[in-house]
Structure 1
Amino acid sequence: MVEREEKEWTQYLKCDGLPNPTDIKEMNTYMYLWNESLAESTIEDVTNRSQIVLSIRNDFQDMLAYHFDMACYYFLRNMETNMDLVDMKILAYTKRTDNFILCMWAPRKLPDPLLNPQTLMDDLLEDTLQINVKKTSVNQEIVEAEDKLLNEIRKELKKSVPQNEINLRKHTILGGVINFNLYYQPPQPKMLLNKTVVTAIQLPKELIPSPFFLEYIPPPPPEAGVRRLPEEIEADLKKQEFEFDKLVLFTIDLPDTALWFEPPLVCKWDDTANIWSTKHIHDVKYNEDKFTIQFRTGCFGLFGIAVNRYANVPYQTWELRPEPKGTGVIFGITAAVIICEFLIKESHVTLTLLQNGATNALQEFVGIQFKLNELINILQNGGVDVFPSFDVFNYTEGTCEKLWPMEKHLYENMAYVSSIYNFTWSRWNNLAGKRSIVMQMREYQDKRKQLSYSTLLVTPYEASLIDSTEVSQSFNSTKTHKKFCADLFHLVEGVGSINARKKLENINLRTVKTVADILIATRILSLA
């Protein structure tokens, strides 16, 4: 209730003339008044109004996400009543609408049985003996079954599309959508001899599209082994040029609000199939120096510029370290092309560095604090996508996907000690396989001279410092300590310095949460 009142008070203090997205009466009044002024709208009015509508839409999205979270929270407070029983241990709930499908699963807590301590000890000893005897074979069978299942899931996730269709799992539409249309010219005002201005009224009062479609069929490639005369080649080129001249030629200046790393693709929205397609797009020419793209087409409609969303994957290096003489955490990535650095403090992330871009796009966002989701949207809309989707491994090469439960748990451990320790990449990580993660770590010193890095090896069973360096001739997984440590946090508690363990008592949990979120979003341990 307090948070709701604060939001209403903040909305009241804005005094910007916009309706409250949560108030249906205000929204209806706003839309009615806007519709009444339709006949008097000018280009300037519509342009200004579009900015207002987009602002309200963003407020709607934030409010919708907040209400979804709160509705799920209250729903899950009584899971036994609200959810369906799948089996003795799992509860589930599904809500289907025309716009989304909401699915929730939850473990069902069962009462603990009262056991005879002596019987429990006997069973435990018997089970332990059986496990010790079959340990190797059982583990191997589980690993093989798990790998087989993961490979099958990975194949199912890979989306295959026809030749002319744009795969939106691999590509993204960058720079907005361009609407090219051809219309009949509306009646123009005419001045009579007596200086009376007369305008014919055409009904309905709207722009009427002019039908236009020309299909261009590229000439077939020459047959193999057939030698053609120069005159024949020249005649074919002239015929092709003549057919090209019938098509509409477009030249587009690529938006300077985004960074372009690879030659983009021009595509058109197909209303029938509901896909982005390169069909009817011909003679595409990309000027990398002027950032222009030229193409010919025989139809009008919605056009977009598609780019490879994983142009910056895999990463070259990364580093996570405490902020010198500060309370934040610095996270840097050297991707395939771009170099970016983030400063994380509590619930906010600041982009402090963005280098290697061909233009100054996105530089206006450097040094400004954002929520992580807001910053991700800004960078992705600007062509800098270092926040890959779960199926990135289907469309990239040179990566090594790690076992996700192990990887996610390690990100959370790294975030917890990120204000004390310095982590960075290792050249052995990509060669270590799916069930091993290798990186370098050291305790960060406030003084100018830092300690040397130690090599950290993490598996699903153990975390250990090993006798191997970046300049070693071969990888050596021999431990440099005798203590068994189940994960990174256990390792820091077990072999870390007294000073480091004391600092863990005063860490900022909001910063830990944000660091963990950005590490999970970037997947640095699988992509570098």
Structure 2
Amino acid sequence: MNKKERDQWMEQQIEEWRQQKEIEKAAYIAGAKERRKEEARQRAEQLANDNAEQEIRKDILQKTCNLFHSFEKEKILYANNKQMKEEWQQYLRCDGLPDPRVVTQAATYLHVWREQQQWGGEELARRCEETLPMLEMLETFVANARHYSPQQAENYNEIRLALREQLHHTIQHVSYMLLRDLETNLTAHSIKLATYEKEFKGLQLNFWVAIRMPTRKPKPVETEPEPIELSFPSMKVTVTLPKVVDASCACVRAAKYMLDLLSESSRTYRLAEEPEDWYEDLYSFNVREHEAVTALSSEQEATRKDFFKAVKARVKELEGIIKANIYVRNKAAEEELEELSLKEPQGLGDPRAFIVQQNELEFADYLKRCNYRTRRGEINLRKYRICGGIIQIDLLETPPQPKRMRDDIDITTLPLPKRLQPMSYQVQYRAPSPPPPGVTRTPEEIEAEMRKIEAEYEKLALVHIDLPQDVMWLEPPVVVQWQESRRLWTTNYVNDFKYNEDKLTVQFRTGILWPIGLATLRYSNLPYQGWDIKPDPNGSGVIVLVTGVSVTISWLCVGNYVKLRSITNATTPALKEHLNKKYTVKKMVQIMRLAACDVFPGSDAHAHVEGARKQPALERHTYHAMAFLSRAYNFQWSRWNVGAGSRNIVMQIREAVDKKRQGKFQLINVSTQRATLLKCTEVSTEYSAEPILGMQFHPDLFTFNMSYGSSDARRHTYNMKYKLVETVFELLQEVKLCSFS
């Protein structure tokens, strides 16, 4: 083949390649046009399908939500009637005590209390006996704030805070008045020592007072003072005062409050206000979301229409330019024309996916508002909880004592203000920094540093505490102290901490005597390792079983109450006294939280613990449906739930009406749009959301049972009483099984 033939062959190959590219380009452009048509057809079908499903929801889901609302209203009406009867019984008792349900009576009680002039041990005992039951009742009212109007809930909370503040003020003032007259109020063990020990309801109060003696002539060589060890057996606390404290005139108050009167004033205690739409029902949520999806789809279609209208106009303009110059090839115009044939509008994704993304961003913003920034040493009270009461150890100045005169006349110096004055003692200890990398210290240097540390430790007070047995210590507590000026709990002054797991004791040194708290992680039992809901085989109740990280808890819901059936793997006998006793759900939550067995995550818990966050309307509705079906079905957790996303709840389900013929568990996926049984199982190698064949459309779990369940299961559901349904529903809302398993 000569050069001319090669050139002709090359030109022929190039022309064939160009023709092939033109054919491929034309096919690609035709395919793009067909794809646009197919996508438009799919969008139209999806919109029509959404509209058809929404019509079904209007008929079925709306009725279901109305049924749920009617049961909730019945429960609230029952609670209100019960409260009215209790108000009447309180009125008939006529015992002179206010009824905390009536805000005016509680306000009058507070006013009279503030104006009173009696400040003694008997007065403190009376106030503790009267106030603590009132506070307990008000705590329940505040926990059920959604049962009252916003103004009522605010009034109850205001009275509760005022009672707590006044009780704390009374304790402080009574302590001052007791120290004002040591001879009358305290027990003298010698001319140098007097003590006081008394137990009130929810309070243990102790004083150790070294009475100041006349100043003696100093010795030529003063002996080194010995540290004084003070033991308070009623509180199970021992304090060793350092040598730097003058024990010859020291006054120590040791008190233990079973009620935490401090934490609530901290800025990290309160939960950020939840968005109001979190409590809307599933039907309202779907109506709102359907309207938003439809509106966004219409906007997108208008955007597409305008976009292709502009593209069509530009194509017509470019074609005119090319035809006007047929003898000159306009490569730029041809390339632009080719690009326009394939151009698509940008930023027009799935409308529902966009709305889901916006909801996730809103929740992330809420968690950001809940996640408080803390100072060095400060603990976040949304992450930790103070358990086992507050231990207050104060080093005080002894007030001037009365001088006895003739004719029963006493003369006393009254320094102002008339309140307890702390003795000056504050030592800031900082641990020595480790040696630089690569530096080896000699044994003499190490020994010298240890002696220096021991010398610094001798300046600190040593505190030894036997941990209370009514708290479940699943891990070492964090010892914190209350910093009154900043209203926070801090660990800055706690050093040399030691925890004995076998004896359940803690020991530490501190350079300042402030109120002491034992903080535990709120959600140390989360996320759940498993859960189970099934009918009680021996009665007409419902069993709820939850397996946490450390313990397994079982409840029995019967009528309007819940019982704690068992707790396994507990480290202390905490909560044993509450086994098989009837409580309301809110009361059960309070009891278990005080025992550091908190399996009731708040709405901000996802900021502190891993979980599978679920859309609030979907989660609440699903819990309500599970409560209705709890006597007919057995529900269990599924390992596929974590990765299912916020719009899907995956769990195992089977009928449990006939205990002799129980079937196998099947996976069910409950989303904001529908409930479907899945082909895959719990033991499948991978998860698939493909439903079983012949599955009809069911808007939610409740309507799924109405058409898919057996006649016995449907009969059990219709026979459910509102008390049991609402009790199970309330417990599931508190535990939040689907969001943390």
Under a length normalisation based on structure 1, what TM-score does the superposition of the two structures give?
0.80
Asked whether the equivalents of residues 403 and 412 of structure 2 are also in contact (C-alpha less than 8 Å), the reply is no
Which of 161-170 and 57-66 deviates more?
57-66
Structure 1 residue 32: Cα displacement: 5.5
> Is structure 2 residue 414 aligned with structure 1 residue 203?
yes
> Is structure 2 residue 358 aligned with structure 1 residue 279?
no
Which amino acid is the alignment partner of residue 306 of structure 1? A
Structure 1 residue 29: Cα displacement: 7.2
Equivalent position of 1:78 in the other structure: none
Query: Which blocks of at least 5 consecutive residues in structure 2 are unaligned?
Result: 1-79, 154-269, 280-293, 305-344
Question: 421, 426, 439: which is aligned to 2:651?
Answer: 439
Equivalent position of 2:386 in the other structure: 173
Equivalent position of 2:636 in the other structure: 424
Q: Distance in 2 between matches of 1:30 and 1:156?
A: 35
Asked whether the equivalents of residues 284 and 294 of structure 1 are also in contact (C-alpha less than 8 Å), the reply is yes
The 3-state SS of whatever aligns with 2:731 is: helix
Which amino acid is the alignment partner of residue 203 of structure 1? L
CA 1:432/1:49 → structure 2, altered by over 3 Å: closer, same or farther? same
Aligned residues: 481
Structure 1 residue 280: Cα displacement: 1.2
CA 1:249/1:327 → structure 2, altered by over 3 Å: closer, same or farther? same
Equivalent position of 2:612 in the other structure: 400
Write out per-residue CA displacement over residues 48-89 of structure 1, whole angstroms, 9 at most, x where no aligned residue.
6423321122344556788995545999xxxxxxxxxxxxxx
Alignment of 1:283-302 (within 5 A): 283-302=496-515
Asked whether the equivalents of residues 620 and 733 of structure 2 are also in contact (C-alpha less than 8 Å), the reply is yes
Write out per-residue CA displacement over residues 155-214 of structure 1, whole angstroms, 9 at most, x where no aligned residue.
4433332331101111111112111101234678999xxxxx999845358654322111
> Is structure 2 residue 89 aligned with structure 1 residue 10?
yes
Q: Distance in 2 between matches of 1:296 and 1:463?
A: 58
CA 1:46/1:150 → structure 2, altered by over 3 Å: closer, same or farther? closer
Q: Distance in 2 between matches of 1:315 and 1:67?
A: 28
Structure 1 residue 102: Cα displacement: 9.9
Bigger Rg, structure 1 or 2 = 2
Q: Distance in 1 between matches of 2:368 and 2:141?
A: 37
Q: Distance in 2 between matches of 1:215 and 1:158?
A: 29
The 3-state SS of whatever aligns with 2:525 is: coil
Question: 661, 665, 675: which is aligned to 1:453?
Answer: 665
Q: Distance in 2 between matches of 1:293 and 1:504?
A: 52
Question: 477, 484, 502: which is aligned to 2:689?
Answer: 477
Higher RCO (Cα < 8 Å, 6 or more apart): 2
Structure 1 residue 103: Cα displacement: 10
Q: Distance in 2 between matches of 1:33 and 1:273?
A: 28
The 3-state SS of whatever aligns with 1:224 is: coil
The 3-state SS of whatever aligns with 1:412 is: helix
Question: 110, 113, 118: which is aligned to 1:38?
Answer: 118
Q: Distance in 2 between matches of 1:69 and 1:461?
A: 29
CA 1:159/1:341 → structure 2, altered by over 3 Å: closer, same or farther? same
Q: Distance in 2 between matches of 1:280 and 1:184?
A: 22
Q: Distance in 1 between matches of 2:687 and 2:127?
A: 62
Which amino acid is the alignment partner of residue 490 of structure 1? T
The 3-state SS of whatever aligns with 1:38 is: coil
Query: Which blocks of at least 5 consecutive residues in structure 1 are unaligned?
Result: 76-98, 108-122, 192-196
Alignment of 1:256-267 (within 5 A): 256-267=469-480
Equivalent position of 2:41 in the other structure: none
CA 1:28/1:212 → structure 2, altered by over 3 Å: closer, same or farther? same
Q: Distance in 2 between matches of 1:220 and 1:266?
A: 22
Which amino acid is the alignment partner of residue 118 of structure 2? L
Equivalent position of 1:142 in the other structure: 355
Q: Distance in 1 between matches of 2:707 and 2:106?
A: 60
Which amino acid is the alignment partner of residue 438 of structure 1? V
Q: Distance in 2 between matches of 1:170 and 1:349?
A: 27
Q: Distance in 1 between matches of 2:732 and 2:109?
A: 45
CA 1:514/1:395 → structure 2, altered by over 3 Å: closer, same or farther? same
CA 1:286/1:49 → structure 2, altered by over 3 Å: closer, same or farther? same
> Is structure 2 residue 263 aligned with structure 1 residue 52?
no
Equivalent position of 2:40 in the other structure: none
Which amino acid is the alignment partner of residue 612 of structure 2? C
Asked whether the equivalents of residues 429 and 438 of structure 1 are also in contact (C-alpha less than 8 Å), the reply is yes
Asked whether the equivalents of residues 465 and 481 of structure 1 are also in contact (C-alpha less than 8 Å), the reply is no
Asked whether the equivalents of residues 343 and 350 of structure 1 are also in contact (C-alpha less than 8 Å), the reply is yes
Q: Distance in 1 between matches of 2:678 and 2:151?
A: 44
RMSD: 3.9
The 3-state SS of whatever aligns with 1:445 is: coil
Asked whether the equivalents of residues 188 and 199 of structure 1 are also in contact (C-alpha less than 8 Å), the reply is no
Write out per-residue CA displacement over residues 455-490 of structure 1, whole angstroms, 9 at most, x where no aligned residue.
112222221111222222222333224122221112
Which of 432-441 and 248-257 deviates more?
432-441
Asked whether the equivalents of residues 181 and 301 of structure 1 are also in contact (C-alpha less than 8 Å), the reply is yes
> Is structure 2 residue 99 aligned with structure 1 residue 20?
yes
Structure 1 residue 411: Cα displacement: 1.4
CA 1:291/1:481 → structure 2, altered by over 3 Å: closer, same or farther? same
Asked whether the equivalents of residues 187 and 199 of structure 1 are also in contact (C-alpha less than 8 Å), the reply is no
| Structure with the bigger percentage of helix | 2
Equivalent position of 2:455 in the other structure: 242
